[in-house]
Chains A and B, each alone.
Chain A
Amino acid sequence: MDKKTQHTEALKRVEQELKKCVKCGACRANCPAFSAFQREPAVARGKVALAQHILKGDIGLDDQTYLNMSKCLLCGSCVEKCPNEVPTDEIVIAAREALAEQRGLTTFHQAVGRVIKNRRMMTFGAFAASILGPLFFRKVPQTSGLRLRFPLPFIGNTRHIPGIARKPFLDRHPEVIPGEPGKPRIVFFVGCMTNFVYTEIGEAALALFRHLGCTVIIPKDQQCCGLPGMSGGDLQTVRELAERNLAALERHQADYVMTACATCGGALHKFYPAVVGRRNPELAARLKAIAEKTVDAAQLLQQLGLHPEETGAGEALRITYHDPCHLRTRAITRQPRELLTATPGVELAEMEGADRCCGLGGTFNVYHYGSSMAINEAKSRAIMASGASVVATGCPGCMMQLSDGLKQHGQKTRVMHTLELLARNLRR
């Protein structure tokens, strides 16, 4: 392979990170992609090795690389447990960016473009339109991550897709909802899934933070976090989105940037400074400032002293909790559980492997739907075995994946966001 004709700039930016890997194999224990494929190129160590060989010029940015690099859910489990702190998720993003530069195929808009051109996807388009309604594609802007989540190229009719809200969350509320003076001012980064699909998460967040007297600010000009684009290697789009989000978030004086979507939180807290910041040093300081202010809703509720036990009693529920990877890898595992168990009527029954990935992994689910659901299979079984009637979690992406898996098992288990459970006694 001729090194000169390879667009490896993105990989060069992570060259030092690549050197940290000692090939110990510890990632084999935690990588959901490895658990699905059972082959070394799918594990973090394999992807790191391949990235190294691309830089050496031993292999090219070709179909094979594309396939191998697609076998990653960007879940960060390998990074969390790696004794040498190798950021394989960032390395995979860099490889995907290099692939996009080289082949020019996988950018965000071209993915959407392909959908329209491809007959199989058109079939899906019709299917989607029938269940999602004609308004769907008009309501979801070009830049939304949902555009990439829904036009799924290899999807079968088995996929259970949640309905689209009549009115997006951002259109329902004024930009600033004033609270009590002296109480924290919180900017709410809503995210596409909450805005278009699970609006009830947004309503629950609003109710809870207003209950605490906080001022909640919902910038109207906030955008998709860009993670689906990042996962496709389209860093140009991500950069644009990050800049627009920065502007939207910086416009307000606030103590916190709050997310109720683990993925959006992961983007703001980790991927913006790490990936976008590395690539666009001119934005680094601003990205870091936002990252430092970013907190997960459950984490913040606990920090600000929410006492669910004081919010009145509700229907008795046996629930179980799933750890979204992008909360777990930020060490947010205890807070949601503590809040949930303090909620009157709620009994928490831990499932086996609550900390294992649900298998969604952004666009992973798009290209490897079968493997994604294979990873999900263990999750569905664990939920069923827990005997819970509700599974709570902190990420709308996981919610979609969990519902899909459970529905395919013919289960009636409800999937709810932690905030919905916390808020349910409030609104009475």
Chain B
Amino acid sequence: MIDARIIDKLKEIVGPDNVAAEIQDLLCYGYDATQMEFLPDAVVHPADTAEVAAVMKLANQERFPVFPRGAGSGFSGGALPKGGGIVLVTTRLNRILRIDTENLIAEVEPGVVTEQFQQEVEKLGLFYPPDPASLKFSTLGGNVAENAGGPRCVKYGVTRDFVMGLEVVLPTGEIIRTGGETYKGVVGYDLTRLLCGSEGTLGVITKIIFKLLPYPEAKKTMLTIFDSIDGAAKAVSTIIGNKIIPTTLEFMDHATLKCVDRRFKMGLPESARAVLLIEVDGDRELIERQAARIQELVKPLGLVECKVAKDAAESEALWKVRRLVSPSLRDVNPDKYNEDIVVPRSKVPDVIRRIEKIQQKYDIPIVNFGHAGDGNIHVNVMIDKEVAGQQEKAHEAIREVFRAALDLGGTMSGEHGVGLSKAPYIPLELSPVQIATMQAVKHALDPNNILNPGKMFPA
């Protein structure tokens, strides 16, 4: 499909050093955090919008697929070149174009790493809240394309809520702007929202205008330990029911706590069955009051212990429990399927109970933790791929977990997206008409099915 002639043309567009067709380069752009692997035919590193547009035009002329890629930290295989074609990497599109302290907006290129952007705006006393756990290495383009979320989303919302406008190279190579720099704006369809979470299937994002906030004056972190899951789940609805929206409400179940404790000896009390990591931020006096009120509210709910951080170092120590979850899981089993279902907040205990049953039925460990504040639970199905039959069992279990989430009024994925991993399950959640509507949009924008083909919808 991609021959020497096309490689030469690509080199003309982006320069010879920015096209790689060596087997080793191809191998290194064929994986992501799903650990699936597909070999592209070439890897292209454009430096600006014009180059991206030229690559897309060529792809339409020559009919080869293009797979946009940020850092390749995706959990659903969105950046993987299944079926071959070229991987278009945004690493060189890495400039922060401006930070406007008067209008509280910033414009960036998509290859900027999330944390680097946060640090730059924070130097000016500003705040970009979306904080996926991958923020030290994921790109802002990848965050927008996956509509990434994180612990702070309870209060602040997800990536989409901070995107005001985009510059996009359409699959056919035309360049458009969507949205703009004003908070209000109702002229035409909201293409910005359409592009957020489109997983690189509707256009290559080449510039992003973000909304910023003033950096909160202070924050306060608490680790609350409960003697039952129900207690912890009740705590979530009680706090929010009492009109306090914490920045963060992170949840860890008993299985998760056991993993962390076994490996890192956190010294959690015996009777701990669930933990909530709660953080509030904002005005110093306000958060003191909120923190005190939260402690009052959770006390009758089977609270075993509440640790309140006095300073940044203590806060970091409390966060450590949460951060250690990921590395500890491997002790349960070497391989994991990491799903991220969402249910309405009040349904968290129900879904956990359903998962408990699924776990017993299939006899494979399932460890749950995540963002209880918005009902987004990371369901980790732990298996050993080398044991025959376990993968199949895991797939069955996952299907049931998705059903449980959907039955309770939720969704299959809150953050990680569909990509390749969840495409087979899409009909569980979307009706044929919904799927057809989405595919009509895709077809209208990408008549030759050039951009990130094979993603999102079942083949």
Residues of B63-91 contacting chain A, CB below 8 A: 71-73, 91
In this assembly, does B340 line the interface, its C-beta being within 8 Å of a C-beta of chain A?
Answer: no
Residues of A5-32 contacting chain B, CB below 8 A: 19-20, 22-29
Other-chain contact of A49, B27, B137, B138 (Cβ < 8 Å): B27
Interface 1/0 per residue, A154-176 and B, CB below 8 Å: 00000000000000000000000
Stretch at the interface among A58-66, A128-136, A283-291: A58-66
Stretch at the interface among A39-47, A249-257, A262-270, A312-320: A39-47
In this assembly, does B35 line the interface, its C-beta being within 8 Å of a C-beta of chain A?
Answer: yes
Q: Which residues from B are CB-within-8-Å of A26?
A: 73, 134, 136-137
Q: Which residues from A are CB-within-8-Å of B32?
A: 23, 25
For the A-B complex with A20-B330, A26-B137 known, give 6 more contacts whose Cβ atoms are closer than 8 Å. Answer: A23-B72, A25-B33, A40-B29, A40-B72, A45-B31, A84-B327
Contact, CB under 8 Å: B35 / A23: yes
The answer to whether residues A64 and B113 also contact, given A25-B134, A26-B137, A29-B136 and a CB cut-off of 8 A, is no
Q: How far is the CA of A19 from the CA of B384 in the complex (A)?
A: 12
Q: How far is the CA of A45 from the CA of B137 in the complex (A)?
A: 12
A-B contact list, 17 entries, CB within 8 Å: A19-B334, A20-B330, A22-B35, A25-B33, A25-B72, A26-B73, A29-B115, A29-B136, A39-B28, A40-B28, A41-B25, A41-B28, A45-B28, A53-B27, A58-B23, A68-B24, A83-B326
Q: Which of under 10, 10 to 19, 20 to 34, or 35 or more describes the interface residues of A?
A: 20 to 34
Q: Which residues from B are CB-within-8-Å of A58?
A: 23, 27
Chain A residues within 8 Å of B, Cβ to Cβ: 19-20, 22-29, 38-41, 45-46, 49-50, 53, 58-59, 64-65, 68, 83-85
Interface of B is mostly: loop
Minimum C-beta distance from B394 to chain A (A): 16
**Closest 9 CB pairs between A and B?**
A29-B136, A40-B28, A25-B73, A46-B28, A28-B137, A29-B137, A83-B327, A41-B28, A24-B33
Q: How far is the CA of A26 from the CA of B115 in the complex (A)?
A: 12
The answer to whether residues A29 and B72 also contact, given A40-B28, A40-B29, A68-B24 and a CB cut-off of 8 A, is no
Minimum C-beta distance from B337 to chain A (A): 12
Q: How far is the CA of A49 from the CA of B26 in the complex (A)?
A: 11
Q: How far is the CA of A68 from the CA of B24 in the complex (A)?
A: 9
Q: Which residues from A are CB-within-8-Å of B95?
A: none
In this assembly, does B285 line the interface, its C-beta being within 8 Å of a C-beta of chain A?
Answer: no
Minimum C-beta distance from B338 to chain A (A): 10
Contact, CB under 8 Å: B31 / A49: yes
Contact, CB under 8 Å: B35 / A65: no
Most chain-A Cβ atoms within 10 A of its Cβ — which of B28, B113, B334? B28
Other-chain contact of B24, A38, A64, A84 (Cβ < 8 Å): A64
Contact, CB under 8 Å: B92 / A38: yes
In this assembly, does B22 line the interface, its C-beta being within 8 Å of a C-beta of chain A?
Answer: yes
Q: Which residues from B are CB-within-8-Å of A24?
A: 33, 73, 134
Q: Which residues from B are CB-within-8-Å of A27?
A: 137
Contact, CB under 8 Å: A23 / B33: yes
Nearest-CB residue, chain B, relative to A68: B24
Nearest-CB residue, chain A, relative to B20: A39
The answer to whether residues A59 and B27 also contact, given A22-B33, A23-B35 and a CB cut-off of 8 A, is yes
Nearest-CB residue, chain A, relative to B24: A64
Minimum C-beta distance from B11 to chain A (A): 16
Residues of B26-42 contacting chain A, CB below 8 A: 27-29, 31-35
The answer to whether residues A50 and B33 also contact, given A24-B73, A26-B137, A28-B137 and a CB cut-off of 8 A, is no
Q: How far is the CA of A28 from the CA of B134 in the complex (A)?
A: 11
Q: Which residues from A are CB-within-8-Å of B25?
A: 39-41
Interface 1/0 per residue, B231-251 and A, CB below 8 Å: 000000000000000000000
The answer to whether residues A59 and B24 also contact, given A26-B134, A38-B92, A85-B327 and a CB cut-off of 8 A, is yes
Q: How far is the CA of A84 from the CA of B326 in the complex (A)?
A: 9
Minimum C-beta distance from B438 to chain A (A): 28
The answer to whether residues A23 and B31 also contact, given A50-B24, A59-B24, A83-B326 and a CB cut-off of 8 A, is yes
Contact, CB under 8 Å: A64 / B33: no
Q: How far is the CA of A20 from the CA of B331 in the complex (A)?
A: 11
Q: How far is the CA of A256 from the CA of B31 in the complex (A)?
A: 46
Minimum C-beta distance from B122 to chain A (A): 14
Contact, CB under 8 Å: B91 / A38: yes
Nearest-CB residue, chain B, relative to A22: B35
Minimum C-beta distance from B193 to chain A (A): 27
Q: Which residues from A are CB-within-8-Å of B71?
A: 25, 28
Q: How far is the CA of A284 from the CA of B34 in the complex (A)?
A: 36
Q: Which residues from A are CB-within-8-Å of B92?
A: 38
Q: Which residues from B are CB-within-8-Å of A50?
A: 24, 27-28
Minimum C-beta distance from A188 to chain B (A): 35
Q: How far is the CA of A20 from the CA of B27 in the complex (A)?
A: 18
Residues of B87-118 contacting chain A, CB below 8 A: 91-92, 113, 115
Q: How far is the CA of A40 from the CA of B28 in the complex (A)?
A: 6
Nearest-CB residue, chain B, relative to A28: B137
Q: How far is the CA of A64 from the CA of B20 in the complex (A)?
A: 12
Q: How far is the CA of A23 from the CA of B74 in the complex (A)?
A: 10
Other-chain contact of A41, B24, B72, B113, B134 (Cβ < 8 Å): B24
Q: How far is the CA of A23 from the CA of B33 in the complex (A)?
A: 5
Minimum C-beta distance from A274 to chain B (A): 19
Q: How far is the CA of A251 from the CA of B326 in the complex (A)?
A: 45
Q: How far is the CA of A54 from the CA of B118 in the complex (A)?
A: 38
Minimum C-beta distance from A166 to chain B (A): 47
Q: Which residues from B are CB-within-8-Å of A45?
A: 28, 31
Q: How far is the CA of A2 from the CA of B23 in the complex (A)?
A: 16
